Structure 1
Amino acid sequence: MRTVVGPTDHVVVVGAGLSGLSCALHLLGAGRRVTIVERDAGPGGRAGRVQLGEYQVDTGPTVLTMPHLIDEAFAAVGDSLARHVELVALHPAYRAAFADGTGLDVHTDGEAMEEEVRRFAGPAEAAGYRQLRDWLERLYRAQMRRFIDTNFDSPFQLLHPDLARLAALGGFGRLDGRIGRFLSDARLRRVFSFQALYAGVAPARALAAYAVISYMDTVAGVWFPKGGMHAVPRAMADAAAGAGAELRWSADVSTLERSAGRVRAVHLASGERIPCDAVVLTCELSAAHRLLGRAPRRPVRLRHSPSAVVLHAGTDRTWPSLAHHTLSFGGAWERTFDELTRTGALMSDPSLLITRPTAHDSSLAPPGRHLHYVLAPCPNTTVGPSAATWRDLGPRYRDSLIAELERRGLDGFAQSIQEELLVTPLDWQAQGHAAGSPFSVSHTFAQTGPFRPRNLVRGLDNVVLAGCGTTPGVGVPTVLISGKLAAARVTGGPGPGRHRAARDRSAPPAVPVSCAPDRGRLR
């Protein structure tokens, strides 16, 4: 594994999102002095928090999987996630509602899900689910250590027996077709393939290897941190400070001072100069390239994932049909992905993610009130409407989205809203996200693994990248790994599995949690 050259005693980490905080904790655990500089007033990055009246709103991801990766970062400094955050295991992980009026609860426990599939679609589909679950577990084991949790220096690193194992599992076929080998019910196939959208690719075109995301969502477990998702980066920042990191808030980086192929100091917009031995840039990839003064040459321009419109609504009521996470599928499927990734049209028959964090933490809202987070995927600004267009389009789309929610059974949603915040590609672009998408560079084959933008910077001996735009990619688990991989580039220490407990990672995480029954339904 290639590493940065020269001294690495003092490392400046630019950005206090999940990847930056993960990197900082792993660096601290390896004995480095760390300064974290963050342009915002506190930690979080994409996993931020806004106060909306008396409501506390998470502005980023709402689904937490693979919490052992967070605990691994805490363990680097002799701490644990459980000391800071209480996790609640979600049962069900999701509720799926379909356009034909049917629905099922998606359980990550195998027996519970087999029984639910049997009730929903019959014994043949239940048997198919069991085979699918076994395939997902084997696919995960074949990929995680060799292709996800690893630093690539060359595509030739793919030439390993694990590549043959992945091929034998059908990992280089198409996701939709591979899922269809196990499940014939079109509704069930959606439950196990919609995750391809996280990677920015339609299920019909995504590699079957991306089903590893389905493994995380439907097998490994889904969790909710009390205090909301923002509680995680806040706890990580506290652990970093306790381990000796210097945290600098409202510290916007203006330039990098360079000489003789190294960054010698980080300059802040305030005029302050912070000398350093190495730098880890976890900001948006385009922002990192601006600081570096150039972007690496690529034969094909980077493609970005679809974006999303998010409606945060504080309401005076909720609905019995909603679990903590509810997937509300429209009738269309292939056409939906074509609109999102090719034609650039808004979804004509949208599939939505509705999250109700107050189902498991009522403190996020005033007494008797509720929080609802409604995410509607939409084209990014390269493929679809421009950021400026969303200035007028946003309010109209908000009204159509609420009307659609009411048509799907959330009657009175419009009248229930006490506080709201609408986020569109215009807002994502204003935050610095390229193509108006918070989901960064998509995971096409040419932008995956060793073909994704590397985390080492050519021409500079002591600069490393981390975050969703680089290795290994988009999503909470992967950005946590990204921070660990960046730290390994600096320290030269053991790569994958450095703090990994000696146990099967397909098992549930060894993180003390509350396993309270689901309170997603009104009693």
Structure 2
Amino acid sequence: MRTVPAPADHIVVVGAGLAGLSAALHLLGAGRQVTIVERDDHPGGRAGRLDLDGFHIDTGPTVLTMPELLDETFASVGESLADRLDLVPLHPAYRAAFADGSTIDVHTDPTAMVEEVRRVAGDRDANGYLRLRAWLRRLYQAQLRRFIDVNFDSPLTLISPELARLAALGGFGRLAPTIAGFLSDERLQRIFSFQSLYAGVSPQRALAAYAVIAYMDTVAGVYFPRGGMRALGTALAGAAADAGARLRYGSTVSRLERRSDRITAVLTAEGERIPCDAVILTMDLPMAYRLLGRAPLRPVPLRFSPSAVVLHAGTSRTWPELSHHTISFGHAWHATFDEIINQGRVMSDPSLLISRPTATDPALAPDGAHLHYVLAPCPNLRAAPIDWRQTAPRYRDELIQTLQQRGLAGFANAILTEHLVTPADWSRQGHAFGTPFATAHTFAQTGPFRPRNMVAGLRNAVLAGCGTTPGVGLPTVVISGKLAAARVTGASRTARRPTVISGSH
């Protein structure tokens, strides 16, 4: 494995997002000195926060899976997840609501899910679900240590018995047909394949290997931290500070000082010069490459994932049909992906993710009020240069009309405060082409073909975050920080200890 050559005692991590904080904790655990430079006045990065009229809004990810990866990160400095976070397991993990009026609760408990599948689709699909669940577990086990939690130096690294095992499991087939081989009910097929959109690929084109995301969501379990998703950044940053990290909030990195093939210092817009032996950059790849003064060495341009419009609404009431996480599917399915990815259009019959965090933590809203997060996937700004200043008000009204038509009667009149986020807003935050989901997981941008975390031509610059390996999503971003730290320390994998998770069950 290629590593940063000595000396590498003081590392500057640019960005206090989850990737940067994960990298910092692993570096601190290996005895390195760490300075974290963050442009915002708080940690979390994409797991952002907004306080509005007494509502405590998470502006980034809403779904937390694989908490053992966080526990491993805390353990690198002798702490545990249970000491820093109060995680509540969600039952059900999701509720899926369909255009025909039917609903399916997605349980991670196998017995409960078998009964739910039997209720809506009969014995055949109930048996198919058990086979699918076993396959998802085998798929995850085949990928984690060899294809996800690993630093690649060459595609030749793929050649291994695990590659043959993944092929034998059907990991190189297509996701949608593979899921259909287990489940005949189209509603169930959607539940176990919609996750590929977050990887930037439709289920019809995504590799079946990306069913590993469905494993994380539907088998391993979904959690929510009391205090909101913002609590993740706060907890990780607190552990880093207690372990000796120096955190510079409100500092924007403006330039990297370079001598030959090494970065020697990080310079901020506020006039600070921070000498370093190595630097870990966690911003979106185009921003990182601009800061480095170089372009990625790729034969074709990077392809980016679709974006999303998010409506944050604090309301005076809620609706009993909503779970903590509800996926509201329209009639359209295949056409939805075609509109977003190929045609560069907003969805004509949208499928939406609706999160109601106050279902689990009422303290996120004023007494008697509720908080709703409505996410509508949409094209990124490269695929569709929509003028969102003109389009946003109309699209906001269309979203609310859709919610009301799907059973949330009176939603518009119940809004006390709101905040709309569009691709233009994501772009202003520094997300390339206005997408918070970074580079897509096409085959040419997967595994060893994904932009690597060691920067060509520089000996001590490392990348972390969802644009590099292993990819998009909260669990993989946490792993990316660990992998970046390993490029500095040369650390080999260590066995994970069992996770102890506090909270109600």
- Counterpart of 1:26? 26
Q: Deviations over 1:85-135 (max 9, x none)?
A: 100000000000001111110001111101110011111110000000011
Within 5 Å, which residues of 2 pair with 1:430-469? 430-469=428-467
1:390 to 2:388 alignment: yes
> Map of 1:75-474 to 2, 5 A cutoff?
75-386=75-386, 389-474=387-472
Secondary structure of 1:313 counterpart: strand
Match of 2:496 in 1: 500
Distance in 2 separating the partners of 1:134 and 1:79: 33
Q: Is the 8 Å Cα contact of residues 380 and 436 (structure 1) preserved in structure 2? A: yes
Contact conserved, 1:22 with 1:483, CA < 8 A, in 2?
yes
Displacement of 1:198 after TM fit?
1.1
Distance of 1:29 and 1:285 partners within structure 2: 27
Q: Distance in 1 between matches of 2:394 and 2:48?
A: 26
String of CA shifts for 1:368-405, please: whole Å, max 9, x gaps: 0000000000011111233xx00110110000000000
Q: Which residue identity lines up with residue 441 of structure 2 in the other structure?
A: H
**One-letter code of the match for 1:105?**
D
| Corresponding residue for residue 520 of structure 1 | none
The letter of the residue matching 1:78 is: G
Give the CA deviation at 1:78.
0.3
SS of equivalent to 1:295: coil
Cα deviation 1:154-188 (Å, max 9, x = unaligned)? 00010000000000000000000000100010110
RMSD: 0.8
Contact 2:22 2:73 in 1 (8 A): yes
TM-score normalised per structure 1: 0.96
1:211-247 deviations in Å (ceiling 9; x for gaps): 0000000000000000000101100000000000000
What corresponds to 1:504 in structure 2? none
**2:502 corresponds to:** 513
Tell me, in whole angstroms, the C-alpha distance in 2 between the residues paired with 1:361 and 1:370.
10
In 2, Cα distance between the equivalents of 1:382 and 1:248?
A: 33
**In 1, distance between residues paired with 2:150 and 2:58?**
30
Question: CA deviation digits over 1:251-293, x for unaligned, max 9?
Answer: 1001000002101100010111000111000111111111100
* CA-CA distance at 1:499 after TM superposition: 5.0
CA distance in 2, matches of 1:511, 1:404: 41
Deviation at 1:138, TM superposition (A): 0.5
Say which is worse superposed, 158-167 or 293-302, in terms of deviation: 293-302
* 5+ residue gaps, structure 1: 502-508, 517-523
1:54 alignment partner in structure 2: 54
CA contact (8 A) 1:6 1:462 kept: no
Deviation per CA, 1:339-389: give whole Å up to 9, x if none: 110001110110000000000111110000000000000011111233xx0
4+ residue stretches of structure 1 with deviation over 4 A?
A: none
Deviation at 1:331, TM superposition (A): 0.6
Give me the whole-angstrom Cα distance separating, in 1, the residues matched to 2:254 and 2:158.
38
- Give, in angstroms, the shift of residue 511 of structure 1: 2.4
What SS class does the counterpart of residue 104 from structure 2 fall into?
strand
- 8 Å contact kept, 2:439–2:467: yes
Distance, in Å, in 2 between the alignment partners of 1:480 and 1:486 is: 10
Q: How far, CA to CA, are the matches of 1:93 and 1:224 in structure 2?
A: 10
Deviation at 1:455, TM superposition (A): 0.2
Mapped to 1, the partners of 2:340 and 2:148 lie a distance apart of 26
Cα distance in 1, alignment partners of residues 189 and 215 from structure 2: 14
Letter in 2 for 1:37: V
CA deviation map 1:35-70 (0-9, x unaligned): 000000110110011111110000100000001111
Q: Deviations over 1:318-354 (max 9, x none)?
A: 0000000000000100000001100011101100000
CA contact (8 A) 2:462 2:484 kept: yes
- Contact 1:263/1:276, CA 8 A, preserved across alignment: yes
Cα distance in 2 for partners of 1:119, 1:186 equals: 15
Aligned counterparts of 1:491 and 1:499: Cα–Cα separation in 2: 17
Contact 1:94 1:324 in 2 (8 A): yes
1:500 corresponds to which letter in structure 2? R
Counterparts of 2:61 and 2:243, CA distance in 1: 26
Equivalences, count = 505
1:485 & 1:233 partners in 2: Cα distance?
19
Counterpart AA for 2:481:
G
Q: Give the counterpart letter for 1:448 in structure 2.
A: T
TM-score of the aligned structures, taking structure 2 as reference length: 0.99
Aligned 8 A contact 2:171 2:207 in 1: yes
Looking at structure 2, the residues matched to 37 and 510 of structure 1 have their Cα atoms a distance apart, in angstroms, of 30
SS in 1 for 2:64: coil
Q: Distance in 2 between matches of 1:162 and 1:476?
A: 24
Cα distance between partner residues in 1 of 2:321 and 2:500: 30
Residues of 2 paired with 1:214 and 1:336: CA distance?
A: 19
Query: Partner of 1:506 in structure 2?
Result: none
Report percent identity of matched pairs: 69
> Take 1:90 and 1:369, find their aligned partners in 2: how far apart are those partners?
21
Amino acid corresponding to residue 376 of structure 1 in structure 2 = A
